[in-house]
Amino acid sequence: MEKVVFGALLGATIGFGAGYMGSRAGGACPIMCNPYVASIFGAVIGVLLAGGVGAKAPAYTPSEHLVKVKTGEEFQQSVLDAKGPVLVDFSSAGCRYCRKLEPVVHSVADRYAGRVTVVYVSVADVPELGRQYGISAYPTLILFNNGRQWADPVVGYQDEAALAAFLDRHVPAAEVPGPEGPAGAEGS
């Protein structure tokens, strides 16, 4: 947000200066010969530039638990043939919300390791999967369980808390063995 405000202020200042100089030069341009109109024009341009420039993914540590799928065969093995829950992130390289979601997906892959397999699919690499699953917006997250779609897709950016809540609602808690073994096991 600060970047957008700074862009608006900088654009307005530059626009005002250009408009002032234009009015002194006796030009006929309705935008650049009026410092006030030029400052509004500059502010709009500054906001547009500040909002679109530098939309990079935040720094994060890549997860060793995240599976990247680049072919239909890999998708078959990693998702459809998998035993247990698999969260698939269908993304596009040019999507800024996908880049924003990337560190969240890596963190969730680490957090749910052993409980949920997290798979990343670039729809540019495997466009037939995008068509097959009706992906029309990015990012789209689909939860599979034992090869079948398990829950409604989640579309758009999700912060880690929202994604964790989604998984906690749909994925049973991992059974943690106590000193006597798994729950319900009889001692010897």
CA 50, CA 11: separation in Å to the nearest integer?
10
CA 91, CA 88: separation in Å to the nearest integer?
9
Site of tokens 């947000």: 1
Catalytic residues: 95, 98
- Contact at 8 Å (CB) between 25 and 8? no
CA 15, CA 48: separation in Å to the nearest integer?
14
Helix (H) or strand (E) holding 140, with range, is strand 140-145
Angstrom CA distances, 48 to 10, 14, 40, stand at: 12, 15, 13
DSSP label at 58? P
